[in-house]
């Protein structure tokens, strides 16, 4: 089975796939920034780069880098998983989890009355955001609750189904 760093770093291309122009450098830099942001997000959610899903996303970012301009042999080390991981760890150490990442997550909660939609919202934010009542339904209409969890903007929409 492949390790996370093997999955995260796609095999080397031959030098003919990328011509080394500024457009390719800009694309590689953007993809590296996405890689760093994703690693920071994974860290805040308690996942390591060795997690299978995290490694697969990083691998696909590497494939996107190859498709958008390739990587020449001389540039292979410039934008790598190891470098992105080091940058992400450094940024997280400096800023901690107080800094808001430029990332948002929208979740739609659907369910019948009394199944725990409001309780789920309260547990996600780790504080009471909606009222709950064991004997009467508390969600009677569509609700939107916005907040931050570990510096990640979260929008939760609840809808009661019949």
Query: What are residue 104's DSSP bridge partners?
Result: 153
**Separation in Å, CA 98 to CA 22, 130, 142, 154:** 35, 24, 30, 15
Higher-confidence position of 26 and 51: 51
Q: What is the pLDDT of residues 51-93, one digit of tens each?
A: 999 999 988 888 887 887 655 534 444 457 888 888 888 888 8
* H helix runs in the chain, sequence order: 4-8, 22-44, 52-67, 81-95, 117-125
Looking at residue 18, its pLDDT comes to 43
Q: Are 35 and 81 in contact (CB under 8 A)?
A: yes
| Every domain of the chain and the residues it spans | 4-95, 104-161
Average pLDDT, the chain: 77
Q: What is the pLDDT of residues 93-112, one digit of tens each?
A: 887 666 777 788 899 999 88
Average pLDDT (34-46) is 88
Residue with tokens 């958008």, as numbered in its chain = 68
pTM for the whole structure = 0.61
């Amino acid at each position: 089975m492949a390790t996370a760093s093997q999955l995260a770093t796609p095999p080397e291309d031959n030098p003919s796939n990328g011509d080394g122009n500024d457009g390719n450098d800009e694309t590689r830099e953007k993809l590296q920034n996405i890689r760093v942001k994703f690693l920071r997000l994974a860290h805040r959610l308690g996942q390591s780069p060795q997690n299978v899903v995290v490694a697969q996303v990083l691998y696909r970012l590497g494939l996107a880098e190859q498709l958008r301009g390739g990587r020449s042999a001389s540039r292979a080390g410039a934008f790598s998983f190891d470098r992105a991981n080091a940058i992400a760890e450094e940024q997280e150490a400096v800023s901690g989890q107080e800094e808001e990442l430029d990332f948002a997550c929208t979740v739609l909660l659907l369910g019948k009355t009394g199944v725990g939609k409001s309780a789920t919202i309260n547990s996600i934010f780790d504080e009471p955001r909606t009222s709950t009542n064991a004997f009467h339904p508390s969600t009677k209409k569509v609700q939107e609750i916005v907040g931050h969890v570990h510096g990640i903007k979260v929008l939760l929409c609840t809808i009661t189904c019949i």
